[in-house]
Amino acid sequence: MNNLGCIFLEQGIDFEFDKVCDCCILHHDNRGLPVLLNNYHGEMIDWEYIFNVKAQRVAKQKEKTIFECENCYHLGEYFFSGERKISEFHFSHCRLCNAKCIYCSDEYSCSVQNYNTYPIIKDLIEKGYYKSGGEATFQGGEPTCMQNFDELIQLFTQYGTNVRVHSSAIKYSETVYNALEQNKGTIVISLDSGLKDTYFKIKQTDKFDIVCSNIKKYAQASKDNVIIKYIIIPGINDNIYEIDKFFRLIKSFGITTVALDLEIQYARKYNNKDVSNHIFLLVDYFNQKAQDLKIKVLIYSFLSYVLKNRNMKKLPKYIGKNNFLCSLYMIRYVDKRKNIEYKR
Ligand code: SF4
Ligand code: SF4
C-alpha cells in the first residue's frame, strides 16, 4: 500500500498546447506529464471519461507510485477522497507572448493563438464537476494574450477559486488588478533585473519602464499578492551589482515578496551537483539582502531542486583563489554572520 499522492492526480486539470493532463509539473528526469487526453485542441470534454482515467490512475498510485510521479516534489502523504470534481486548474496551452526571453523555449513567443478554454470551464461548472477553494494557474506564453483571459479570471474569482497569473506585465490587466485587490489572486512577474539594459538583454524587448509602471499599479491593489521573480542567468544577471539594483526597485515598489529561481536550461545542463558554487553564493547573497530589507524570498522549483541536492561539505578550495568569490564570502559569512559557518 502506498500512501503517497497529490491533489493534482485526483482533482487537477492542466491544458497543454495539444493535450490535457493532471498537472503541468515537468520533471527534471524527463518522465513526461500524466496525460488525460492526447491530441486535444479545445473540444468539449467528456468529464465522466476524465474521472474514469483519474480513478484508474489513482488506483495504481495506491499500489505503487506511478512512473510520471516518481521523485516529484509535490508527492506527499495524501488521502484520496474519491470525489469526482476538479478544483486545481493549470492553463499552459497559450504560446503567444509579448516578450522573447533568452531562457524561453523556442516554441513560445509565436504568433499562433491557441484554443479557447472558457467554454470548457463553463461546461465543467454547469455539469456540477467544479469544486471551489482551489487555485487556477495561468502561465504560457503570456496569459494576458490568451482568448477570454479576463472572462476566465472573472469566472474563477466569482466561483471562489484563487487565481495565480504568471505574466510579463508588459500588458496590464484591470481584471487581475481587481482580483488582487479582493485578495483572490496573485501575480508573479519575472523582472530578472534591476537595470533597463539587463532587462533588454534578457527579455529582448525594450519594455522595462512599462513593466515597472505596471508593477507599481498592481502593487497599489495589493503589495503582498504581487511577487517579483529573479531568475539567475549565468553571465548576465549573476552579480551582486544587479541584485542590489533589483532590490532597490523592489523596495521602491513596496513589494513584500520576491521569488528566486535558476535558469532552467542551466540547471538541466549542469545537472544540479555540478552547478557552480558562484550560483550558490549568489543565492545566499540574495537571501541575505532580502532579509536585511525584510522581504520574503520564495525559492522556486528548479532552484529548490538544485539546492536540495547540493552536497558541498565545506567551502571549496578554489574560492580562496577567486577574488570576487572570496570577498563575497568574507562580506557575507565572516563579517556579518560571524557565528555562522559555511555549511553545506
Ligand atoms: S505527483 Fe507531481 S507529477 Fe504526479 S500528478 Fe502530482 S504534481 Fe503531477
Ligand atoms: S515571458 Fe514566458 S513565455 Fe514569454 S518569452 Fe519569456 S519565458 Fe517565454
Of 150-154, 200-204, 333-337, minimum mean pLDDT range: 333-337
Residues 169 and 253 in one domain: no
The verdict on residue 329 lying in a domain is no
- 280-296: burial string, b at 16+ Cβ within 10 Å, e else: bbbbbbbebbbeeeebe
Q: Which residue has the cell 551589482?
A: 241
Residues 52 and 154 in one domain: yes
Band of residue 300 on the pLDDT scale cut at 50, 70, 90: confident
- Of the residues 185, 200, 231, which one is the last residue of a structural domain? 185
Predicted pLDDT at 210 = 98
The verdict on residue 332 lying in a domain is no
The verdict on residue 338 lying in a domain is no
Centre of ligand 1 to C-alpha 311, Å, is 26
Domain that holds residue 270: 191-311
Residues 83 and 180 in one domain: yes
Answer yes or no: are the C-beta atoms of 191 and 166 closer than 8 Å.
Answer: no
pTM score of the predicted model = 0.87
Centre of ligand 2 to C-alpha 97, Å, is 6
Residues 196 and 161 in one domain: no
- Of the residues 127, 152, 185, which one is the last residue of a structural domain? 185
Residues 17 and 68 in one domain: yes
The verdict on residue 317 lying in a domain is no
pLDDT, one tens digit per residue, over 59-87 is 999 999 999 998 787 889 999 999 999 99
Residue 123 pLDDT more than 60? yes
Ligand nearest to the CA of 264: 2
Centre of ligand 1 to C-alpha 61, Å, is 11
Number of domains, the chain: 2
Predicted pLDDT at 281 = 83
Q: How remote is the C-alpha of 87 from its chain's centroid?
A: 19
Centre of ligand 1 to C-alpha 299, Å, is 19
Mutate which of 142, 193, 205, 263 to test ligand 2's pocket (most atoms within 8 Å of Cβ)? Answer: 142
Ligand nearest to the CA of 69: 1
- Of the residues 159, 185, 211, which one is the last residue of a structural domain? 185
Residues 156 and 248 in one domain: no
Residues 270 and 227 in one domain: yes
Centre of ligand 1 to C-alpha 24, Å, is 8
Ligand 2: which residue has its CA nearest to atom 8? 104
- Ligand 1: residues whose CB is within 6 Å? 6, 8-9, 22-23, 25, 34, 68-69, 72, 74-75
Report d(CA 47, CA 44) in Å as an integer: 9
Residues 6 and 141 in one domain: yes
Give 272's contacts (C-beta < 8 A, 6+ positions apart).
28, 305, 306, 309, 310
The verdict on residue 340 lying in a domain is no
Ligand 2: which residue has its CA nearest to atom 7? 104
The verdict on residue 341 lying in a domain is no
pLDDT, one tens digit per residue, over 251-269 is 999 999 999 988 877 766 6
Ligand nearest to the CA of 90: 1
Residues 23 and 38 in one domain: yes
Residues 156 and 16 in one domain: yes
Residues 163 and 204 in one domain: no
Mean of all residue pLDDT scores within the chain: 86
The verdict on residue 324 lying in a domain is no
246: alpha, beta or left? (left if phi > 0; alpha if psi -120 to 50): alpha
Residue 20: count of CB within 10 angstroms of its CB = 21
The verdict on residue 200 lying in a domain is yes
Band of residue 315 on the pLDDT scale cut at 50, 70, 90: very low
DSSP reduced 3-state for 165: strand
Residues 106 and 59 in one domain: yes
Centre of ligand 1 to C-alpha 73, Å, is 8
- Ligand 2: residues whose CB is within 6 Å? 97, 99-101, 104, 108-109, 140-142, 168
**Percentage of the chain modeled with pLDDT above 70:** 83
Of 109-118, 230-239, 280-289, minimum mean pLDDT range: 109-118
